[in-house]
Structure 1
Amino acid sequence: MRALWLGLAGLLIGSAGPSHAQSPPRVWRLATVELPPSISEHAPQQGYYAVLLRRILRELGAQPEFEFLPPLRTYERAISGGVDGAFPYKKTPEREQLLLFSEPFYLARVRVFLAQSDPWTPQHPEDLVDRGLGCTLQAAQVPDALRELAASGALRLQRVPLIETCFRMLELGRVSYVLTGENTGWTAAQAMPDQGRSLRMAPLVVSEEPVHLAFPRKLPGSAAKLRAFNEAVRKLRKSGELQRIELAHVPRPPGP
């Protein structure tokens, strides 16, 4: 009898296991645009923004589900509360009326790429005004240092869907420079037939752009999500884990 009771107890304990299994991760729907290599539906692991966000949300027992949309549609989905969050958006007073912005989970550096044969080197962002037509990504936001110049028409930028197109135009002499993120630029350059040897990056850092996750004010749970997200970012940054992920996944300029 004692053996029978022990056997039944074992069965009960064993059968209780699955009912206490960890629940599946909660899904956060995040709207974004195609900005390869930082975020792209077709890139390995969907780009390094996606890798960083997956790790941050895993800290919260959640996982992201990315929606890749045109820029205007992404913004509309964000402010209407159609998604849990959207990125990458620059924090402005106007947008803060509609969105809650997280602490930065990444810092992007905007640089100037030139033809290797071009001896000119800009010293200040406003120096680009005198260089004629430049090229940048269609979905990219103009850095703060150049916003007024772009709005007035003094800074002329050709916008194209792919940064590779900018580099082809630079090679052909159709534009004088390419304005883009350091990592985006080097990734595209290294995919060129000459692996970017015909290009160089000017020493000038036009701007450092913090990358935020923006939460809709319309959604009641956004404030709680924001606090949890910020806490996870601070924890992973303090432990060095976000830095390690960046080293492993973020494209780097070629070595000497």
Structure 2
Amino acid sequence: MRMFFVQLFIFLFAATAVADEKPTKIRLTNGEWAPYQSQDLPGYGVSSQLVTKAFEAVGIDVEYGFFPWNRAMLLVEQGAWDGTFMWVLTPERERLYLASDPLFVLREVIFYSKDNPVEAKELKDLNGKVMGALDSSAFGQQFAPLIDDGSIIVARVPNNQQLFQMLAMGRVDFVPELETSGYEAALAHLTEDQQKRIGHLERLTYPWSYHLLISRQTEHGPYFVDAFNRGMQIIRANGEFDRIIGPYIRPRSLN
């Protein structure tokens, strides 16, 4: 009987130890959004580098998988992957995912082609226009009432290359995008002449706060969120944050 209780104690102790063991690896979906995220950039882009360093600071390795953005989110929603980034929060996303503290705030602006100039002081001034937008993107969310009542038409595409080529060719009238990544897309995917024709409105800017989203289906979801938040505090304090992302969260010009 004594041996039975000894074996039972050992079993319960081992089971408790396994249950308390914290994960040392996280699997995150990623996608194409230069300069922040890309399979073809060093460290998979500066946002990916930031996420890697934050988790590294708390002893967690990151595995990335690259997918179209719609699929990247669905895989996390279903629990097939642990998390995804960098996303703005919407009521629907807060319902489906666990969200980290903000990574940083970036400015959305309205891009247009000077071949088809856009002048607007308020949202309703864009009535009758065609807006270009990315699949799964919350950019242009401020136009939702005008989209719902048909005042603005939306053309959605899977990537920024197609989006800015459509803008340069006049297939859409305006594109809401980050000032940084919008000009990055123009530089990467448009001809030199087309680049000179791209501009943005200084009015109607919109601030976005970006987050890591963790699946509610993942066993260690709350731990991953807490660990990432702690990791971000560490790399902000030691200067890694500014070194990695600082130059990329300030606007870049085509001039």
TM-score w.r.t. length of structure 2: 0.77
Matches within 5 A, 1:147-158: 147-158=144-155
Percent of residue pairs identical: 26
Deviation (angstroms), 1:50: 0.7
What does residue 83 of structure 2 align with? 85
Residue from 162, 187, 195 that aligns with 1:165: 162
Tell me how large the CA RMSD over aligned residues is: 2.7
SS of aligned partner of 1:87: strand
Deviation (angstroms), 1:247: 2.8
Cα 1:44–1:116 shift into 2, 3 Å: farther
Matches within 5 A, 1:66-105: 66-105=64-103
SS of aligned partner of 2:205: strand
**2:167 pairs with 1:175:** no
Matches within 5 A, 1:1-256: 26-117=24-115, 120-130=118-128, 132-191=129-188, 192-194=190-192, 196-249=195-248, 252-254=251-253
SS of aligned partner of 1:67: strand
In structure 1, what is the Cα distance between the partners aligned to 2:203 and 2:48? Answer: 28
Deviation (angstroms), 1:222: 1.3
Cα 1:117–1:81 shift into 2, 3 Å: closer
Deviation (angstroms), 1:129: 2.7
Deviation (angstroms), 1:205: 4.8
Deviation (angstroms), 1:239: 4.9
Contact 2:105 2:207 in 1 (8 A): yes
In structure 1, what is the Cα distance between the partners aligned to 2:121 and 2:90? Answer: 27
Deviation (angstroms), 1:105: 1.1
Cα-to-partner distance string for 1:34-68 (whole Å, 9 max, x where unaligned): 33332122233322211111121121122321112
Cα 1:82–1:120 shift into 2, 3 Å: closer
Cα-to-partner distance string for 1:187-207 (whole Å, 9 max, x where unaligned): 122233217222112113532
Deviation (angstroms), 1:254: 2.4
Deviation (angstroms), 1:231: 2.0
Deviation (angstroms), 1:240: 4.6
Deviation (angstroms), 1:212: 0.9
Which amino acid is the alignment partner of residue 121 of structure 2? Q
Cα 1:139–1:33 shift into 2, 3 Å: farther
Contact 2:111 2:174 in 1 (8 A): yes
Aligned length: 231
In structure 1, what is the Cα distance between the partners aligned to 2:77 and 2:135? Answer: 21
SS of aligned partner of 1:212: strand
Cα-to-partner distance string for 1:96-147 (whole Å, 9 max, x where unaligned): 33321001113232211122355543223443334x1122223422443223
In structure 2, what is the Cα distance between the partners aligned to 1:216 and 1:166? Answer: 29
SS of aligned partner of 1:210: strand
Cα 1:144–1:230 shift into 2, 3 Å: same
Structure 2 unpaired stretches of 5+: 1-22
SS of aligned partner of 2:192: coil
In structure 2, what is the Cα distance between the partners aligned to 1:137 and 1:220? Answer: 31
Cα 1:167–1:81 shift into 2, 3 Å: closer
What does residue 15 of structure 1 align with? none
SS of aligned partner of 1:114: strand
In structure 1, what is the Cα distance between the partners aligned to 2:56 and 2:124? Answer: 42
